[in-house]
Amino acid sequence: MTHTPHAPLNLLFAATTAAVLSLPALAQPAGMLEEVIVTAQKRAEDLQDTAIAISSISSAAMDDLNINNSEDYEAIVPSLSVRTSPNRLFLRGIGRVTNSLGTEPGVAVYLDQIYTSEIGVLGRASSLTTQQVDVLRGPQGTLFGRNATGGAVSVTSKRPTEEFEHELRATGGNYGTFNWGGASSGPITDGLGYRVYAYGDSHDGYVKNQGGKDIFDEDHTGFGAQLSWDATDKLNIWLSWASDRTDDIRSGVNFGGYLITPYQPALKTQDGFLYSEQYQWDRVNPAVKDRYKVDQNDELRTKDFNNNKYITHITWDLDDVTAKYIGGYFDGDYTAKNGDLGNTSNPDVRVVEGAEQNSRSYSHELQLISADDGPLQWVTGLYYYHQEVEQPYTIASLQADYLANTVPADDYYNKAAVQPNLNPRDHWQYWQNGDLEVDSYAAYADANYTFNESWKLTAGIRYSYDEKEGTEANYIVADPNAVPGASALFPVWAALGFPADCCGFLSADPALNTRKIDDDWSNVSGRAVIDYMYSDDQMLYASVSTGYKAGGFRLGSLQENPSFDPEEVTSYEIGYKGTYADVLRVNAAAYFYDYSDMQVLVPYLNDVNLPVSEIVNADKAEIKGFEVEATWLATENLTLMANYSYIDGEYTEFCCALDTIADPDSTQEIDLSGNPLTQSPENKIFTNASYSWRTDTMGEFVLSGSYSWVDERQYDVFNTNDTLADSYYRVDASLTWFSTAEEFRVILSGKNLTGEETWVSLNRLNEFGAISGYANEPLTYSLEVQYFF
């Protein structure tokens, strides 16, 4: 649904302008906005004193705004775009274009200062486990470094407490929602504290499946334990272990959703490689008329298991310097089985896909941080990161018994050349595997000098070196029913004594189709910031910063051009941060990005006409934008929040690419210069009003309502109408009750109360106009009870 932003835009700007213009006359309520502390520059600082565009969401705000998945952050954080299947983050038009092995994100995610390439830690962050989520916008090439061209998301866990604190919680809602959780924290002995927690979140699928289990059924569990030990009055050791498990029902590995266009029963094959499930299938695809209905008999079951995160912080406070070691080890095993590639409930033709990922990574970082009160403050550090990942992927035709044996595509009549399928039971038609090892090294230094009460200069530099080594192999078997004229071979094979029900055409043998690739890259990035405090509570700043993302190679499919170069961005930003009468906080930033060699995903059809993608470098891109955030404690009881962001990003020099999905035989390359960046809505708005009232006998009540609007966004670099998602808005509300002693909290909440619908993923699949996608979450409601003791 398209919804005009003009009315809320005018309201937002009018409210902000009116508030600012009337500041001298503001009467201060009997309260003030809470101070927000962030560690964006590796030390604890007031948000309003930090010359970086940051949105900070506290544990309390997660409850107040009903945040319980990564998509909820999209509404609240300016310039943030989130895609959850597959998981991808974009900030100011920069993000992760593919999850394929050998590629990297453009937004770095950190859990307790440990880098991860996955956004799962953001989606699983909750008020039970998380102290704060900070979203840093703009290149963070100096202090965060690795893959932070778009920005960084820092998730900080709750820590052990000095006094005993315990809580239990339970939630019920529509779609069979049932969540539970518990945490305990406190001292063990003098100087030694603990924290433990456990939780479970589950709900039924909101996409109804006529042929099997409903889609987007989710079941998550998590456990964690921490120890914090003050070994001396200057030495602290913090140890953390966290483990997450998921068991979800989804749809599609490679195609990002389910089929949303009509079935094509007249086509025996849609790619000349797979026998089509839709061939002579006379049912109607229900997703064409209702985006919350599908009809398929092999839904995708995904599991995360053996997913552990071990983190250590050792902090040693010396007289004038703090030495800190940050170490982490993450492992994870992921499986995705029986994804219905044909998107039908046809029992006779079942083409399914599956994937796995097994990953291990560890990192070490040593920091030295100044700890005196002088005008010069600095931090320097050394960093090392290592990752090992294996990522196999398969397509199988379960009912095609004739594929149990294969014959080489160039030796059709040789009975001696017949060999069993690589997986005779499941009849693999496609298999690929990739193994990747990554080593990353960095050294950095960052310092700021305060000249007087008004002026401060910050400068930083980072040297990065990245090395990648990869191995890939694949296996391809074409179905003879999908190859024109191949049926003429069947009587010949029978006469030559070939096995019964024979054969698939072996087009690629992993014994031969194997390749090793390795490369390395280095970069020097930095920043310079000048900020001017023209009053105690108001600051202007200007910055120039650079970011870098290593090159790589897309492993698994043995592409003709698998490698791509590093990308670099130079950012110019001016910003304002102001607090008025301790009741109104207004932060704004305007920026311009000059991008070189941006890594871009270009979809195409491979040798067997499967839709895949290639990473290429767009020579030049430009992004300019504006953001404003405001929080106003209008009265002691009423708090108003609003933010707006504008992104204008395009490829300025990007020539050229073949659109083989639109026309497989095309030889005419298309100049993509001028096309908009993908997954980057031009406008976004968020507003929230929260009113609280306290009673002497019944406790406190808080009524909160939010309105968010997201502009249309493009999901394909070719800028097609089929992959342009409409704008949409969302209305959320909650009513919270605190008992008089505040040991109980009850939250009644609802999301998307008006039931607005949009596509949050769109992908072109073939020359016949097939499109896959998936819908946003429908209206949901829940009741949560929290007990503190």
pLDDT digits (tens, 9 = 90+) for 751-775: 999 999 999 989 998 888 999 999 9
DSSP state of 237: E
Please check the confidence at residue 221 and state whether its pLDDT lies above 80.
yes
Determine the 3-state secondary structure of 444 from DSSP: strand
Asked if 475 and 459 count as a contact pair (C-beta separation under 8 A), the reply is: no
Average pLDDT over residues 226-237: 97
Q: How far apart are CA 250 and CA 342, in angstroms?
A: 14
The answer on pLDDT for 16 being more than 50 is no
Q: Among candidates 379, 381, 374, 536, which has minimal Cα distance to 449? A: 374
DSSP summary character for residue 269: B
Q: Among 37-46, 82-91, 442-451, where is mean pLDDT lowest?
A: 82-91
Identify the band that residue 11 occupies on the pLDDT scale cut at 50, 70 and 90: very low
Tell me the DSSP string of 688-737. EEEEEEEETTTEEEEEEEEEEEE--EE-STT--GGGEEPPEEEEEEEEEE
475-493 average pLDDT score: 90
pLDDT bucket at 485, cuts 50 / 70 / 90: confident
Confidence of residue 608 (pLDDT cuts 50, 70, 90): low
Quote the tokens at residue 729.
Answer: 């808005």
Question: How confident is the model over 123-154, as pLDDT tens digits?
Answer: 888 999 999 999 999 999 899 888 889 999 99
Count the alpha carbons within 13 Å of 751 in the hemisphere toward its beta carbon.
19
Non-local CB neighbours of 601 within 8 Å, separated by 6+ positions: 97, 98, 613, 614, 615, 678, 717
**What is the residue type of 263?**
Y
Please measure the distance between the N-terminal and C-terminal CA atoms of the chain and give it in whole angstroms: 46
Chain mean position to CA 374 = 40
* Type of residue found at 250: R
The mean per-residue pLDDT over the stretch 65-70 comes to: 86
The first and second tokens of residue 334, run together, are: 């992921």
Pinpoint the alpha helices (H) of 22-158: 59-64, 70-76, 120-123
Look at residue 430 in the predicted model and tell me its pLDDT. 93
Q: What is the pLDDT of residue 392?
A: 94
C-alpha angle with apex 221: 218 to 226, nearest 5 degrees?
A: 150
Q: Pick 482 or 256 by higher pLDDT.
A: 482
In the predicted structure, residue 3 carries a pLDDT above the cut 90:
no
pLDDT tens sequence across 528-573: 999 999 998 999 999 999 999 999 998 888 888 889 999 999 999 9
Q: Which of helix, strand or coil describes residue 470?
A: strand
DSSP state string for 41-74: TSS-EEGGG--SEEEEEEHHHHHHTT--SHHHHH
State how far the Cα of 359 lies from the Cα of 221, in Å rounded to an integer.
20
Mean pLDDT over 609-631 rounds to: 90
Mean pLDDT of the chain: 91
Give the phi and the psi of residue 432 in degrees, each rounded to 5.
Answer: -140, 150
Q: What SS3 class is residue 358?
A: strand
pLDDT at 197: 98
Taking CA atoms, 42 is separated from 207, 222, 453, 524, 674, in Å, by 43, 28, 22, 20, 39
- Return all residues near 693 (Cβ < 8 A) that are at least 6 apart: 637, 700, 701
Alpha carbons 246 and 523: distance in angstroms, whole number: 37
Per-residue model confidence as pLDDT tens digits over 638-674:
999 999 999 999 999 999 998 988 888 888 899 999 9
| pLDDT, position 18 | 37
- Under a CB-based contact definition with an 8 Å cutoff, are residues 507 and 479 in contact? no
Dist. CA 726–CA 723, nearest whole Å: 10
Does an H or E element contain 434, and which?
Answer: strand 428-450
Give the alpha-carbon dihedral of 19, 23, 28, 33, to 10 degrees.
60
Instruction: Assess contact for 359 and 307: CB atoms under 8 A.
Output: no
Q: Is 471 left (phi over 0), alpha (psi -120 to 50) or beta?
A: beta
Residues 490 and 537 sit within 8 Å (Cβ to Cβ): no
Amino acid, single-letter form, for residue 463 = Y
Q: What angle do CA 759, 179, 692 make, to 5 degrees?
A: 85
Which has more confidence, 23 or 171?
171
Name the helix (H) or strand (E) containing 629. Answer: strand 611-633
Query: Is residue 473 pLDDT above 80, yes or no?
Result: yes
Strands 300-317, 293-294: pairing is: unpaired
Single out the residue of 747, 776, 748 nearest to residue 761, CA to CA: 776
Check if the beta carbon of residue 102 is closer than 8 Å to that of residue 470.
Answer: yes
- DSSP H helices, 509-568, are none
pLDDT digits (tens, 9 = 90+) for 430-471: 999 999 999 999 999 999 999 999 999 999 999 999 999 999
Q: Residue 1 pLDDT > 70, yes or no?
A: no
> Identity (one letter) of the amino acid at 493?
W
Question: Mean per-residue pLDDT for 486-494?
Answer: 89
The DSSP string of 361-376 is: EEEEEEEEEE-S-SSE
Best CA proximity match to 103, nearest among 675, 597, 616 = 616
What is the β-pairing status of strands 759-764 and 744-751? unpaired
Query: Distance between CA 165 and CA 161 in Å, rounded?
Result: 7
* Alpha-carbon distances, residue 555 vs 478, 562, 614, 621 (angstroms): 22, 7, 10, 26
In percent, the amount of the chain with pLDDT more than 90 equals: 74
Q: With bands split at pLDDT 50, 70 and 90, how would you rate the model's confidence at 390?
A: very high
Question: 747: which strand partners?
Answer: 736, 784
Give 284's pLDDT tier (boundaries 50, 70, 90).
very high
CA distance 390 to 101: 8
Instruction: With beta carbons less than 8 A apart as the criterion, state whether 784 and 170 touch.
Output: yes
Helix (H, G, I), strand (E, B) or coil at 359: strand
* pLDDT value at residue 104: 87
Residue 140 corresponds to which tokens in the numbers above?
A: 């963070």
pLDDT of 243 reads 94
Whether the predicted pLDDT of 700 surpasses 80: yes
